[in-house]
Amino acid sequence: MTSTFSEESFGEEKRSLNFIETIIEEDIANRKNEARVHTRFPPEPNGYLHIGHAKSICLNFGMAEKYQGKCNLRFDDTNPEKEETEYVESIMDDVRWLGFQWDKEPYYASDYFEQLFEWAVLLIKKGLAYVDDQSQEVISQQRGTPTRPGIESPYRNRSVEENLDLFMRMKNGEFPNGSRVLRAKIDMSSPNMHMRDPVMYRILHAEHHRTDNTWKIYPMYDYAHGQSDYLEGITHSLCTLEFEVHRPLYDWFLDQIIETSYRPRQIEFARLNLSYTVMSKRKLLELVKNGHVNGWDDPRMPTIAGLRRRGYTPASIRAFADRIGVAKRDNVIDVGLLEFTVREDLNKIAPRVMAVLDPLKVVITNYPTGKIEYVELENNPEDPQSGTRNLAFGRELYIERDDFMVDPPSKYFRLAPGKEVRLKGAYVVRCESFETDTDGTVQTVFCTYDEETKSGTGPKQPKVKGTLHWVEASTAIDAEIRLYDRLFMDEDPAGHKDRDPLEFLNPDSLKIITGKLEPSLAGVVPDEKFQFQRIGYFCVDKDSKAGALVFNRTVLLKDNWAKQSGK
């Protein structure tokens, strides 16, 4: 094994290789395929990319980066009935957003239709492919079952001439959909179902998003994928485990056409599963179509577009992909790990601001009426470069309703009658009294402040247990805050036989409230990210406008008090 490429630069922790890196390094050491590394990310443009695809993207582009190779973006568009340009666009957006750059232009399997067709003709001439006139049902029956061998089609031994003629006429559109297929002649009794004379081409009179109506026949995945890899010079074709049984077929087709020593190799890894969510395109599409979420980029969706709108950063997703690793065993990653990686990134980069989501009025009774002063606050204690800002302080403020209790337990470090807290960046205040409405809900809390405790400059700096965030009432601005929670209440919503994942939908996955924010936020634009001090990370939604701000909650801060008091 060469260690040339496994050495990490100084400061980075040195990690052991995953099984794919091990294979690649062996191949490089053996100078297989001239020691080139060329991968590809091959999505079908029939839906939006999700976090599982992000794993594949990071893997494929990551291997290319690590071994100074290349990675193609290739749209696997062999089924005109499901594929749309909208998806092509979104996929390119997502890959770019994650920070990867594909080699040259995006490729399309449809670019190879002509070549694929010629190779099909070649297979017919070699006696390795034939036109079958039977119906889908009959062909399916003849295929047998996993435990019973199939039987051969009566059309299996047609002459090359007849096959050629029929295949041409299929191509020319002379036959209706479903009337004939081209099949590879392999082995109807193979224990591997995929080798039982698989279909190579079907007749589809459908408009293709790129080739329009030129083609009346379309190649199947198995017939197109390996050859596409070959045409692009791919060396390591990484795909998920369910394609493992396809590998003999991948190799079989390549065997028939390859004349060089170069050959791509398919390697399978386990797809990502995330707890408390669903990951199949079909189920995600259902969520969108049935209106359980507001589109593919709804911040509750595990799509890349959804995560982006939720406030996740590319760095956090790449860090996530990094930590989950790559292996062949089935896995379910705790969604908490994803949340950890965003917090980790946002903690470093998100400016801190004051925002009160459930406001409770506080009156500082000994503070002059009408006076406003400005206190200085750090923008981000984690980032010394981020500077400070001035924030209005006055007699009437809002604090979080959770931060006051009439009759608190002993470990409660916040405001309560007779207790003192620090208002972050301002003064220490003491709660003298409070006022409730008729049903006992606290309406206003009355405090006194000590002018000498002013943050930083005051002569008295008493140690107080609690520090609260706050906003000054007359200058605070309102904003719509969208509080997102997990979409499903079950850890594995799709993992129950006889139960629809929709049964586990979380009815409280979105709550919309109006919060009070510090005025410096008036000019924010979509995608800006902040830490609402002591609450969590929030980002500006694309629906946000000046005067009608909208924030999405990305993730809460870790909250040991909630954990402790919840028990």
Q: How far is the CB of 349 from RNA (least distance, A)?
A: 11
Window 284 to 303, contacts with RNA (CB under 7 A): none
In angstroms, how far apart are the furthest CA atoms of the chain?
A: 102
Residue 238 or residue 510: which is nearer to RNA going by CB? 238
If binding is defined by CB under 7 A, does position 79 make contact with RNA? yes
Q: Which of 66, 82, 263, 271 is catalytic?
A: 271
Conformation bin of residue 391: beta by default, left when phi > 0, alpha when psi is -120 to 50: beta
Structure tokens at 117: 């067709």
**What residue has token string 């040259």?**
104
Integer CA distances (angstroms), 243 to 18, 40, 108, 202, 526, in order: 20, 16, 20, 21, 40
For 403-420, the DSSP string reads GB-SS--TT--SB-TT-E
Q: How many CB atoms lie within 10 A of CB 315?
A: 17
Q: How far is the CB of 463 from RNA (least distance, A)?
A: 7
Burial class (CB in 10 A: 0-12, 13-18, 19+), 11: exposed
If binding is defined by CB under 7 A, does position 262 make contact with RNA? no
Window 346 to 385, contacts with RNA (CB under 7 A): 347, 352, 380-382
Q: How far is the CB of 138 from RNA (least distance, A)?
A: 8
If binding is defined by CB under 7 A, does position 246 make contact with RNA? yes
Window 120 to 159, contacts with RNA (CB under 7 A): 134-136, 139-140, 143-147
Window 212 to 231, contacts with RNA (CB under 7 A): 218, 220-222, 225
**What residue has token string 């791509």?**
264
259 included as an active-site residue: no
If binding is defined by CB under 7 A, does position 563 make contact with RNA? yes
If binding is defined by CB under 7 A, does position 386 make contact with RNA? no
| Strand ranges (E), 412-469 | 420-423, 428-436, 442-449, 467-468
If binding is defined by CB under 7 A, does position 85 make contact with RNA? no
Residue 34 or residue 81: which is nearer to RNA going by CB? 81
| 109 neighbors 40 (Cβ within 8 angstroms) | no
Residue 329 or residue 371: which is nearer to RNA going by CB? 329
Q: CB under 7 A: which stretch of 74-82, 302-310, 480-488, 521-529 binds RNA?
A: 74-82
Window 403 to 432, contacts with RNA (CB under 7 A): 411-414, 422, 424-426
| 203 neighbors 170 (Cβ within 8 angstroms) | yes
Q: How far is the CB of 147 from RNA (least distance, A)?
A: 4
Residue 182 or residue 473: which is nearer to RNA going by CB? 182
Window 322 to 341, contacts with RNA (CB under 7 A): 323-334, 336-337, 340
Structure tokens at 109: 């399997």
| 449 neighbors 366 (Cβ within 8 angstroms) | yes
Rounded to whole angstroms, how far apart are CA atoms 200 and 195? 12
281 included as an active-site residue: yes
Window 490 to 529, contacts with RNA (CB under 7 A): none
44 included as an active-site residue: yes
Residue 137 or residue 439: which is nearer to RNA going by CB? 137
If binding is defined by CB under 7 A, does position 177 make contact with RNA? yes
Which of 11, 12, 14, 16 contacts RNA by CB under 7 A? 16
| Strand ranges (E), 343-427 | 352-353, 355-356, 359-364, 372-378, 388-394, 396-400, 420-423
**What residue has token string 């690649």?**
24
Q: Find the length of the chain.
A: 567
Window 443 to 472, contacts with RNA (CB under 7 A): 454-456, 458, 461, 463, 466-467, 469
Residue 135 or residue 474: which is nearer to RNA going by CB? 135
If binding is defined by CB under 7 A, does position 475 make contact with RNA? no
- The dihedral through the CA atoms of 525, 531, 535, 538 has a sign that is positive
Rounded to whole angstroms, how far apart are CA atoms 185 and 123? 9
Residue 54 or residue 510: which is nearer to RNA going by CB? 54
Give the residue numbers annotated as catalytic, written as ranges: 44, 271, 281
